[in-house]
Amino acid sequence: MLTFWRYGYETTSISELTAAMGITAPSVYTAYGDKKQLFLEAMRLYAGSSENLKRVLDEADTAYDAVHGMLMAAADAFTGKTTPPGCLLASATASGSKDSADVQAAVTAVRREIMKIVCSRIKRDVQNGVMPTDTNASALATFVIAVIQGMSVLARDGVGRRPLKVMIKTAMMAWPEQQQPK
């Protein structure tokens, strides 16, 4: 996973993967079939289950709290000392060719699922009267994903954790005003 994260899907060679995993190329092919399947498994490991994300977002008091926590966790993850900077989902396929279109589609599907989960959490707050009824949940969820992707790029460019967290504070100022639940 870290090798794909560091170098990207297309530019990571089987020899780099086998060196990182401490196994032979035939073992990779036996266990995963090919590099694409290995990447997809690494991506699933990285992204975790959508059920876990739903649970974490649902447990937060408000969608604001859920998204704020999600962004803060991303800032920590994107600037970790033991991981490459940025986000695997953003960096691994950033410069993909048509040969990796199916891998790019899989990454896109994961991002869309995350956006759908965030949107659902926002809609819940709208329905419960915590957020204004005219809140565009889809647009706000899209904004959240755009912020996360931007944070990933900035982290890869060397922007540190502290400036990312200041940026989060600024981004959260775009959040609709919270109301008392009904």
| Domain 48-90+97-172: CATH class, spelled out | mainly alpha
pLDDT tens across 64-121, in order? Answer: 999 999 999 999 999 999 999 999 888 777 666 676 788 888 998 999 999 999 999 9
Say whether pLDDT at 181 is over 70: no
Q: What is the pLDDT of residue 49?
A: 73
Residue ranges of alpha helices (H) inside the chain are: 2-7, 14-21, 25-32, 35-47, 50-59, 63-78, 88-91, 101-127, 137-156, 161-172
Whether residue 102 contacts residue 36, with contact meaning beta carbons closer than 8 Å, is answered with yes
Q: State the pTM of this model.
A: 0.88
Q: What is the pLDDT of residue 84?
A: 92
Residue 48 DSSP symbol: -
Indicate the residue type of 35. K
Query: What number of other Cβ atoms are within 10 A of residue 95's Cβ?
Result: 11
Residues 57-71, buried b or exposed e (16+ Cβ, 10 A)? Answer: beebebbbebbbebb
Residue 116 burial (C-beta neighbours within 10 Å; 0-12, 13-18, 19+): middle
Residue with tokens 């982290």: 155
Q: What is the pLDDT of residue 136?
A: 97
The sign of the torsion formed by the CA atoms of 151, 156, 162, 163 equals: negative
pLDDT tens across 2-59, in order? Answer: 999 988 888 899 999 999 999 999 999 999 999 999 999 999 999 887 788 889 999 9
Length of the chain equals: 182
pLDDT tens across 122-154, in order? Answer: 999 999 999 999 999 999 999 999 999 999 999
**Domain positions in the chain:** 48-90+97-172
Q: What is the pLDDT of residue 180?
A: 57
